[in-house]
């Protein structure tokens, strides 16, 4: 199977690429614009594989996508490229509209044009897998049942609204044009190679530097936490064995408040003997409550029963084991995150890692 992965230099995308190269026989074509969140350092251990190729391309560039489809002849697309940070979507929504909506439309059209030229057996085998988020469903009250694949959409932020729009586009391309699609909606991911602006790496790195650990509001917002490597396994199950036209929710079965997450991280850093900056007695002392962000969702919870029943997937990591692996990774891989914090990772975007480049 030859898979075109968009956004393969991002957090979840790079986990998918590493999984496909290290755990399967698939060939991978990584298409990534390399925005601030794209980091080729995250792919250093697979970049030399003969089954891996990279194109620096904006998914809004139809001509560049057409060239890649024609040259590479993929059997499937795994579409992960997206702007995904809620705070950034509040500060500047345009990039989210451009990438998540216009970019998805452009990729769908490139994929449809390519798919229409395939012979019947390859058309039947082709898959367009759209990777989305549980945030499209809005939020839940404490007593509400978890999101299922039939939960009505009620996005709260410009980010989740743009992802909801892209989900609708993908489903309409299936119904109207017959493009063989599968979709998945995941809960909050965490794990190695996570960009430091997100909650878990932000807390770990701030703690190590003796900086405040900001918690929105009272920290009572609930999220379901999914270890990124479990998610990569789930995504491969969906693209390789999922039923055309179906949606699969992917969750970690780990509902925790944001404050519980921060407390867990502080306690793991203590347990692991992380060096405290001068003047810090306990990592928890750095917790600082800040003004809540606009439209902050109260609770997400994902019912992942369908993917377990239909595809046999279940997460391997518990919250405790996954968080421990995550903290250990950041403690042991300071060169990776130091290059992100300094900005050096962005200065060598192509370098020796890239095998291909197409003008967008």
In CATH terms, is domain 2-193+226-253+300-316 a member of 3.40.50.720?
yes
Position 182 scores a pLDDT of: 98
Per the CB < 8 A criterion, the answer to whether 304 and 172 are in contact is: no
Q: Would you give per-residue pLDDT tens digits along the chain (360 residues)? A: 999 999 999 999 999 999 999 999 999 999 999 998 999 999 999 999 999 999 999 999 999 999 999 999 999 999 999 998 788 889 999 999 999 999 999 999 999 999 999 999 999 999 999 999 999 999 999 999 999 999 999 999 999 999 999 999 999 999 999 999 999 999 999 999 999 989 999 999 999 999 999 999 999 999 999 999 999 999 999 999 999 999 999 999 999 999 999 999 999 999 999 999 888 999 999 999 999 888 888 999 999 999 999 999 999 999 999 999 999 999 999 999 999 999 999 875 554 444 444 433
Q: Taking CA 66 as the corner, what is the angle to CA 61 and CA 69, rounded to the nearest 5 degrees?
A: 125
**Where do the domains of the chain lie?**
2-193+226-253+300-316
Tell me which DSSP letter residue 36 carries: T
Position 349 scores a pLDDT of: 59
Per the CB < 8 A criterion, the answer to whether 23 and 95 are in contact is: no
Instruction: Tell me the pTM.
Output: 0.94
Position 350 scores a pLDDT of: 53
Position 352 scores a pLDDT of: 42
CA distance 225 to 145: 17
Which residues have a catalytic role annotated? 134-135, 159
Tell me which DSSP letter residue 136 carries: G
- Joined together, the tokens standing for residue 253 give 């079965």
- What string of H, E and C letters represents the secondary structure of 206-268? HHHCCCCEEEECCCCCEEEEEEHHHHHHHHHHHHHHCCCCCEEEECCCCEEEHHHHHHHHHHH
């Amino acid at each position: 199977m030859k898979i075109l992965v968009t956004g393969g230099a991002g957090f979840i995308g790079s986990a998918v690429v590493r999984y496909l190269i290290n755990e399967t026989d698939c060939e991978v074509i990584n298409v990534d614009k390399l925005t601030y969140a794209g980091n080729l350092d995250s792919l250093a251990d697979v970049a030399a594989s003969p089954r891996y190729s990279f194109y620096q391309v904006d998914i809004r560039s139809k001509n560049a996508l057409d060239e890649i489809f024609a040259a590479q002849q993929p059997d499937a697309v795994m579409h992960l490229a997206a702007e995904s940070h809620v705070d950034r979507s509040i500060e500047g929504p345009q990039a989210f509209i451009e990438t998540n909506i216009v970019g998805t439309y452009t990729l769908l059209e490139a994929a449809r044009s390519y798919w229409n030229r395939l012979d019947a057996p390859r058309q039947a085998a082709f898959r367009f897998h759209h990777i989305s988020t549980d945030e499209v469903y809005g939020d839940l009250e404490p007593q509400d049942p978890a999101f299922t694949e039939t939960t009505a959409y009620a996005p709260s932020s410009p980010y989740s609204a743009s992802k909801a729009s892209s989900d609708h586009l993908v489903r309409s391309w299936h119904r109207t044009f017959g493009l063989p699609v599968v979709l998945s909606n995941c809960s909050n991911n965490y794990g190695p190679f996570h960009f430091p602006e997100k909650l878990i790496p932000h807390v770990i790195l701030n703690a190590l530097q003796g900086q405040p650990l900001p918690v929105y509001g009272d920290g009572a917002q609930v999220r379901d936490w999914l270890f990124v490597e479990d998610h990569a396994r789930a995504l491969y199950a969906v693209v390789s064995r999922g039923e055309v036209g179906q949606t699969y929710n992917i969750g970690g079965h780990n509902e925790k408040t944001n404050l519980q997450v921060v407390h867990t991280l502080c306690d793991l850093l203590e347990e692991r003997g992380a060096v405290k900056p001068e003047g810090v007695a306990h990592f928890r002392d750095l917790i600082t409550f800040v003004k809540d962000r606009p439209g902050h969702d109260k609770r997400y919870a994902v019912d992942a029963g369908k993917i377990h029943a239909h595809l046999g997937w279940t997460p391997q990591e518990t919250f405790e084991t996954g968080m421990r692996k995550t903290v250990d990774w950041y403690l042991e891989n300071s060169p990776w995150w130091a290059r992100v914090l300094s900005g050096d990772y962005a200065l060598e975007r192509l370098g020796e890692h890239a095998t291909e480049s197409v003008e967008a």
